[in-house]
Structure 1
Amino acid sequence: MKLFFVGLCMLIAGTAFGQSTHAKSWPVTVQSPDKHLQLQFKMNPSGEIYYDFQADGKAMLQSSRIGPEVKGIPVFKSKQIRSVKSVWNPVWAKRSVVPDVYQELTLVFDLFTIKARLYNDGIAFRYEHANAEKEMTTFNFAGNFSAWYYNGENHNIGPEKLQDADGERLPVMTIKAGEKAFMAVHEAALESGEPLRLKAQKSLVFGVPSHRGKAWRVILYGRTPGDLVDTHLIELLNPAPAAGSDFSWVKPGVAVWDWRINGAVVDGFKYEMSLPSWKRMVDFAAENKMKALVLDADWYGPEFSKDSDPMKGGKVDQVRQIIAYGKEKGLKVWLYLNDVGGKKFPLEATLKQYGEWGAGGVKYGFMNGSPEEKNLHTQLVTRLCAENHLLVDFHDGPVHPYGQMRTWPNAVTREYDQAQSDGHKVFQPKTFATAVFVNMVAGPLDMNNGAMDMVQKGRVDNSQPVPATVTAEAARTLIVFSGATIIPDIPEYYNKYPEHLKFISAQKMPWKESKTLSGEIGEYILMARKSAEGNWLIGAAGNENARTIRIPLNVLDKGTYEALIIKDGKDADFRTNKESYTTEKRIVNKSTILEVKLAAGGGACILLQKSKVL
């Protein structure tokens, strides 16, 4: 991965300032490259530092404290402003070329340094050279805006008026500040310390109670909620891979999974988490040019037992056979590893063994410890997986994503959400329509969408109906950004819906481009992505209310495309008729506008392939 600097200019102003020149030094103002965002810093005679944030000429945050908690009054020494214009060419991401353009302000004090960056789609700041356990950071919003928050394996909190917030909230904090003004509060590049927490202090003010958090504090900004989804600002704040690193072996894509298939019976065959079923899954995946099979818990013994050896226990012989079988078919096999086995047995030796077996990745589950300890262990597991050419997916209350995929491209996804089939008591269509604008802003998610058996009868783990139409399920696989789209059903049900299977199989990564075409938080989302093969795919999914949406195709390249359009049937409804759908084929171009009706809990899928020139 190479970083190309198109230009770099530095403007240095100010040297040492004493009390007599204090008034002349403040305020300090810096703007985004496009001049639409502005950040202003002020310092009062007591040494308290504040910032104001404006976007499109309107106040978003005002008189918000900034700085680490230190003893004594800081003395301002100097300021420095530089302009950076460069490009990130990721191994995989939402797009193949990511502009990295910002203005950076450095404020140097005798006790610490504040570094701030303004991009066209947000701001970020961090503290350097500070010996402090806590920080004074606040977010003092300029109005009683509506907000949504991450809520573990539950439906997200919100919409909630800022003045009604009580106690702690967890990021991502997504905010609607106006019809064309949206923000999201999160963090990036958490090197050490506690992951970000937010606490309502008083009306419209949130503080940061996290200890020793060495990270960028980030406020994303967009004119639509989709702008928050599409940005890579959080990743850009993370360091590039170490010099000499080679991640060309990282291959993102669709994967099948053995956990949800367990107990399904079709044509006299009962699916289990064992070699005969694994081979059927590998055959299906290979036939449809998917990337991997993910093996879940208990393959090396009961996952919570301290006696279960992740290198020698349980079905290890079968596992080695399926890895070899997958290799013959051009497929990688992922292995589950519980935190018990990961800590009871030597982790470095375990992951080295998996690499030597030829495994393709690790799904790491149920990590224990404090949030700070979990973050450090996540970093360790990610690094060791990279050294052994293993992708990694963290589940069961993981540390939130904060842009690691830039430094470690093998960190392809994590369950920072309510995985769809884990708790129907909370996952409903509105859960999905909210999480994509909250959880997914943090980074790639493993939500396990894509079920085709809408009843799930006989499944061992959770045999409840799926909260969607079958077309919405296919659409959700595209909408959710992930370096490993892990689908949960058996081959026979995917083959039952050939158009939906074609749509899922066409999701060839890495993506060349991604664009949220429209959407409203908690209502619906319309996503377009351009595949590695050059085809465009569009997915739409809504909440419990039926609606008609317009789909402009202006993201397409010049020329004509053959469109396969998969829609909910007229009688489709996620509560009463999940399987009803219709298909249509037509020739379209970038001027075409489609009109599609989404059923309650429904969706739409569009596969656009360039017309063949005769």
Structure 2
Amino acid sequence: MLNRSLLYSCLISLWFISLAGFSAPKPTIYQAVSPNKNTRIEITVNEQKALTYRMWLANEPVLNWSSLGLDLNGVAVGQNTVVKKQHASKHTESLAWRLGENDVIHNNYNELTLDCVSGSVTYQLVTRVFDGSVAFRYMLPKQTGTSAGLIRQEHTTFALPGAFTIYQYNEETVFTPTPVSDLQKTCDFPATLTNGKLFLSIGEADNTGYTKAVLAKGATPTALAVAFRKDSVRTAGDFQTPWRTVSVATSAIGLHAFSDLPLRFCPPSTQAVPDWIKPGKLIRSSLTTQGGLNCIDFAASHNLQYILFDAGWYGAEFRTTSDPMQPIPAIDLPKVIAYGKSKNVGVILYVNRVALRTRLDEILPLYKKWGVVGLKFGFVDGLTQEGISWLPGAIKKAYDYGFILDIHDNYKPTGLSRTYPNLLTQEGIRGNENNPDAFHNTVLPFTRFLAGAADYTFCYPNTNRYFTDNLYKSKLQVSKGQQLALSVVYFSPLQAIFWYGNPTDYNDEGEIEFFKRVPTVWNESHYLAGEIGQFISVARRQGNVWYVGSAAGLTDWAGNLPLSFLAPDKRYQATIYEDDGAGSIQKRVADMGADASFPISLKAKGGQAMIIEEKP
């Protein structure tokens, strides 16, 4: 008979052996892939019961496991999470869009929604995966037992798979390339990062009632975290956060494919874009009647559609005593508006936040009666939940009264132009009035312009007065050729071309001829070549005519531009506007076709603009 102690030892050994064969269950991974199967998001509740995600491009990690969640009423939503359900769907859509860089916006994605519970909080994580992009937002239904909530912070992070450089900036500052591990300041959305192999854009879409969020250094040297710029977020009833987006490309110019991404998240307008929303170019007028009349004559003869009376037309803009319903005595506004109508030139008026917040409902019907066609909102609050929540209602009111709109200062777009197409452009950019250098100019196409249109306020120098008056703190840091080129490179349906220009001082029509011809919206656009902060070349088509803008950074650039965007069975002639080496513009012509490339050689800080037309 087998010894009892030996039998007991054998049974214990068998028990341990059986335990070794059964490891703890692995966390469930929920995933969604892009229509082309090349981009993937994976989401899981990890072993610490925290909701996390990661992103892949093919088989290469774009983001390692990163945190999800937020702090709602003291509950760490995302921690101790249980996923109750998952829902998957597919979306295919083509949007006709006459106010953009292309006629059509393709909005194709696969969506995955997870119904989750964290402690006492129920919520949904909604994710969308596009070709090259992932996006997610938090949906918070009205919580049981409370009518309002407070989000003190967001716990979203972006764990990079190694060392990356971020092009740090805030609102209207310059860009500072900074290793993520060394980041001390915050960075605005959209934020552009690269490790030399991958190029990432981390952005935001559909922010209509949140606060301004920024990126800060995360808990590890290769991570970034969402932080709030100024305040917390109050919720009421059903609430949704803005979308967080991550786009990836294998080249710097590849990021341009995502410049319309914010538009894809916002709900469409209730009707087709009305005819009264007209894109165009403007010149800013001095604050006198004669200045307005002169600008209208100049606009009419140079294919500009608008003039602008900027800050001061109704008095000092920040004083509550300034009356936005009464022009200063120096401006006979009815006379200027009537003259503009006779020349088919519209008048746009600036209104500061002080007047907007107290008298918007009064000024809109009055300006409509006057015959004003557009407004420029000044010094709006794009930093707090209260300020950001106020804007959509104000934009809608302007839309309902039939005004095109430009929003200035710290506000950046998150796609609202799809819902309110009268919002043609906005600032949120260090524009030309600050005289940025060529490095800044060649960083912008890969950063701020990935959020949408921007009003750069071009300050093309007058022929007779080259930055001699007190409006200019310094001369332009780039060439005139670069100024011409950037009007193609930079997208804005409403372009301020002559910001400081006095129309009576321009006497060289050859220099500004290109501005007369260049459109502001496009049927088709292609980024031909570019590296962040080094050079950029963009081709855009309106009708049968192509426009190409090329700009160099702080060093010379020589290369060859592909012409494959041209029709293969046709021949073309290009009119080329470029720096003459003596501070002015020279013009030449060249024949070209799709079967060739175009050699380009630019001096540092220089530029070149082309108009390419079919040969008869």
TM range (shorter): 0.7 to 0.9
Q: Which residue of structure 2 aligns with residue 185 of structure 1? A: 202
CA distance in 2, matches of 1:83, 1:25: 25
Q: Which residue of structure 1 aligns with residue 280 of structure 2? A: 253
Q: Of 285, 300, 320, which aligns to 1:306? A: 320
**What does residue range 311-322 of structure 1 map to in structure 2 within 5 Å?**
311-315=325-329, 318-322=332-336
Q: Which residue of structure 1 aligns with residue 189 of structure 2? A: 171
Q: Which residue of structure 1 aligns with residue 80 of structure 2? A: 73
Question: How far apart are residue 139 of structure 1 and its match?
Answer: 0.6
Q: Which residue of structure 1 aligns with residue 479 of structure 2? A: 469
Which secondary structure does the structure 1 equivalent of 2:154 belong to?
Answer: coil
Q: CA RMSD in A?
A: 2.2
CA distance in 2, matches of 1:566, 1:245: 37
AA matched with 2:283: V
CA displacement 1:279-308 (0-9 Å, x = unmatched): 121112112222111111111112222111
CA distance in 2, matches of 1:23, 1:82: 28
**What does residue range 16-27 of structure 1 map to in structure 2 within 5 Å?**
26-27=28-29
Contact 1:254 1:507 (8 Å CA) reproduced:
no
Question: How far apart are residue 105 of structure 1 and its match?
Answer: 0.8
AA matched with 2:450: V
2:461 paired with 1:446 = no
Query: 1:142/1:472 Cα in 2 relative to 1: closer, same or farther (>3 Å)?
Result: same
Moved more, 64-73 or 304-313: 64-73
CA distance in 2, matches of 1:251, 1:557: 29
CA distance in 1, matches of 2:267, 2:382: 26
**What does residue range 52-451 of structure 1 map to in structure 2 within 5 Å?**
52-69=54-71, 71=75, 73-110=80-117, 111-129=122-140, 133=151, 134-158=153-177, 160-179=178-197, 181-202=198-219, 203-210=221-228, 211-212=232-233, 214-231=241-258, 232-241=260-269, 243-244=270-271, 246-258=273-285, 272-315=286-329, 318-344=332-358, 346-368=359-381, 370-397=383-410, 399-421=411-433, 423-424=434-435, 427-449=436-458, 451=460
CA displacement 1:196-248 (0-9 Å, x = unmatched): 2112123111111234372000112222222323421111011111x346533
Query: 1:114/1:390 Cα in 2 relative to 1: closer, same or farther (>3 Å)?
Result: same
Q: Of 480, 503, 507, which aligns to 2:490? A: 480
Question: How far apart are residue 124 of structure 1 and its match?
Answer: 0.5
Unaligned runs of 5+ in 1: 1-21, 259-271
Query: 1:46/1:596 Cα in 2 relative to 1: closer, same or farther (>3 Å)?
Result: closer
CA distance in 1, matches of 2:577, 2:327: 45
Q: Which residue of structure 1 aligns with residue 16 of structure 2? A: none
Query: 1:196/1:557 Cα in 2 relative to 1: closer, same or farther (>3 Å)?
Result: farther
Contact 1:352 1:388 (8 Å CA) reproduced:
yes
AA matched with 2:215: L
Q: Of 596, 603, 606, which aligns to 1:599? A: 603
CA distance in 2, matches of 1:463, 1:178: 37
Query: 1:197/1:363 Cα in 2 relative to 1: closer, same or farther (>3 Å)?
Result: same
AA matched with 1:440: F
Which secondary structure does the structure 1 equivalent of 2:590 belong to?
Answer: strand
Question: How far apart are residue 502 of structure 1 and its match?
Answer: 3.1
Query: 1:316/1:300 Cα in 2 relative to 1: closer, same or farther (>3 Å)?
Result: farther
CA distance in 2, matches of 1:128, 1:605: 47
2:533 paired with 1:522 = yes
Question: How far apart are residue 29 of structure 1 and its match?
Answer: 1.8
CA distance in 1, matches of 2:457, 2:573: 29
AA matched with 1:52: R
Question: How far apart are residue 81 of structure 1 and its match?
Answer: 1.6
Q: Which residue of structure 1 aligns with residue 146 of structure 2? A: none
CA distance in 2, matches of 1:224, 1:450: 31
Query: 1:115/1:141 Cα in 2 relative to 1: closer, same or farther (>3 Å)?
Result: same
CA distance in 1, matches of 2:330, 2:403: 18
CA distance in 1, matches of 2:111, 2:195: 25
Question: How far apart are residue 582 of structure 1 and its match?
Answer: 3.0
Compute the TM-score of the two structures, normalised by the length of structure 2: 0.86
Question: How far apart are residue 392 of structure 1 and its match?
Answer: 1.4
Which secondary structure does the structure 2 equivalent of 1:367 belong to?
Answer: coil
Q: Which residue of structure 1 aligns with residue 555 of structure 2? A: 545
Contact 2:170 2:186 (8 Å CA) reproduced:
no
Question: How far apart are residue 336 of structure 1 and its match?
Answer: 0.8
Contact 1:151 1:157 (8 Å CA) reproduced:
no
CA displacement 1:75-94 (0-9 Å, x = unmatched): 21111221211111124111
AA matched with 1:610: E
Question: How far apart are residue 370 of structure 1 and its match?
Answer: 4.9
Q: Which residue of structure 1 aligns with residue 9 of structure 2? A: none
Compute the TM-score of the two structures, normalised by the length of structure 1: 0.87
CA displacement 1:543-600 (0-9 Å, x = unmatched): 121221312111123412221012223xx3xxxx532x43221222212311121122
Which secondary structure does the structure 1 equivalent of 2:206 belong to?
Answer: strand
Which secondary structure does the structure 2 equivalent of 1:62 belong to?
Answer: strand
Query: 1:406/1:227 Cα in 2 relative to 1: closer, same or farther (>3 Å)?
Result: farther
CA displacement 1:138-176 (0-9 Å, x = unmatched): 111111111113333321121x11111124222221011
CA distance in 1, matches of 2:46, 2:30: 12
Q: Of 528, 535, 551, which aligns to 2:545? A: 535
AA matched with 1:411: L
CA displacement 1:352-374 (0-9 Å, x = unmatched): 22122221211111235852222
Which secondary structure does the structure 2 equivalent of 1:431 belong to?
Answer: helix
Question: How far apart are residue 326 of structure 1 and its match?
Answer: 1.0
CA displacement 1:50-91 (0-9 Å, x = unmatched): 111111321111110113335373321111221211111124
CA distance in 2, matches of 1:388, 1:239: 20
CA distance in 2, matches of 1:245, 1:537: 27
Q: Based on CA coordinates, which of the two structures has the bigger radius of gyration?
A: 2
Count of matched residue pairs? 561
Runs of 4+ in 1 over 6 A off after TM superposition: none
Which secondary structure does the structure 2 equivalent of 1:192 belong to?
Answer: coil
Contact 1:150 1:172 (8 Å CA) reproduced:
no
Contact 1:41 1:50 (8 Å CA) reproduced:
yes
Which secondary structure does the structure 1 equivalent of 2:321 belong to?
Answer: coil
AA matched with 1:578: G
Unaligned runs of 5+ in 2: 1-23, 142-148, 234-239
Question: How far apart are residue 340 of structure 1 and its match?
Answer: 1.9
CA displacement 1:368-397 (0-9 Å, x = unmatched): 585222212322331121111111112222
AA matched with 1:68: L
Q: Which residue of structure 2 aligns with residue 513 of structure 1? A: 524
Contact 2:327 2:333 (8 Å CA) reproduced:
no
Q: Which residue of structure 2 aligns with residue 578 of structure 1? A: 583
Question: How far apart are residue 405 of structure 1 and its match?
Answer: 1.4
CA distance in 1, matches of 2:593, 2:506: 29
AA matched with 2:513: K
Question: How far apart are residue 97 of structure 1 and its match?
Answer: 0.8
CA distance in 2, matches of 1:246, 1:369: 26
